[in-house]
Amino acid sequence: MAMAVTMEVGNDGVAVISISNPPLNIINAAMLAALKEKFGEATRRRDVKAIVLTGKGGRFSGGFDINAFQNPSGDTSDRTIESIDLVLNTIEDCKKPVVAAIEGLALGGGLELAMGCHARIAAPKTQLGLPELTLGVIPGLGGTQSLPKLVGVSKAIEMMLFSKLIMSEEGKLLGLIDEIATSEELVRVSRLHALEISDGCKPWVRSLHRTDKIGSLSEAQQLLRTAREQAKRTAPNMPQHLACLDAVEEGLLHGGYKGLLKEAAVSKELVQSNTTKALTHLFFAQRATAKVPNITDVGLKPNNVKKVGIIGGGIMGSGIATSLMLSNITVFLKEINSEYLLKGMKTVEGGYYIDTLRAPFVNIVL
């Protein structure tokens, strides 16, 4: 199924804009352009009072297309400016309230799109996060500016620097999510929330303008200093960590718009770096190992393993034996003599209590 951005306007005056790019609704340049077009249409139409942004197929969005990092041809500055224009000018500064209806996952650029909206409604167990640093880049759709404003500086640093994912339930406690609704009720609840914002019954919140979660500037700067020291110790050859912190600090000191400009400039530099190229190559290489020609593509199924023989009962052998036995697999352990065999058995027994009825242990001495 091809990438598509659709819009449906209901009798309630809510325009539902849906993104579709199976299986994860990955964002690319064409989708950004299509989103801008649909938002422009919804803004102009007099029969539209509010907007809901959602994803098809039970997922909001898995983020920006990583292939763009692997092949950063063309003018990346133009793409960055277009991204900022969509999130800031088109969505956050939209003259009609915009609510994100999030299900399944909202990662990277997907979460950044959601944070540009004026409220976020999520289904239970929805994954949220900004894992861009694992690829050598930083959030480039306003994430370095919006996330600290929504969850606080400390939590934002933790989520970005460690690429930590959270569930929507935790997001609700942090203030990243406004309401939790079942998958069946998600769009309906989001429509009502959007109309309540339009009618003045709920606050119209622009993430970049919030300051209530920041705390004092001195405390925020101390958090950033501590994070920088940790990054220098633990990831001295990863420039994206310090670059991310620089973008966050720029926004705290000089405002969200200046922070966005810093984020854009840093993103342009990083996407061309050797670090990003190497980490992106690693990302695709790891996934390629799961695709073996004439094996993974022909429907082969593994046999049900009931017995396993292990040669050597040392640290590695005994550890493997323990894991297999806890999976109800009979283990035959071979050693060169009874002394080594007994040592291996004791190592297994010392690590875990083994239920011999559930996982019988059979030993053979050469």
Q: Looking at the annotation, which residues are catalytic?
A: 112, 132
**CB contact at 8 A, 191 and 52:** yes
**CB contact at 8 A, 140 and 267:** yes
Cα–Cα–Cα angle for 176, 181, 182, rounded to 5 degrees: 135
Rounded CA-CA distance 122/128 in Å is 10
Neighbours of 200 (CB within 10 A): 8
The pair of three-digit structure tokens given for residue 299, joined into one six-digit string: 């429907």
Nearest residue to 224 (alpha-carbon basis) of 157, 175, 159: 157
Cα–Cα–Cα angle for 197, 199, 201, rounded to 5 degrees: 65
Torsions phi, psi of 104, nearest 5?
Answer: 80, -70
Rounded CA-CA distance 280/27 in Å is 17
The pair of three-digit structure tokens given for residue 316, joined into one six-digit string: 């590695």
Handedness of CA 32, 38, 41, 47 (dihedral sign): negative
Rounded CA-CA distance 206/118 in Å is 6
Instruction: Please tell me whether the peptide bond between 131 and the residue prior to it is cis, using omega within 30 degrees of 0.
Output: no
Radius of gyration of the chain (CA): 25
Q: How far is CA 267 from the centre of its chain?
A: 17
Rounded CA-CA distance 259/254 in Å is 7
3-state SS assignment for residue 342: helix
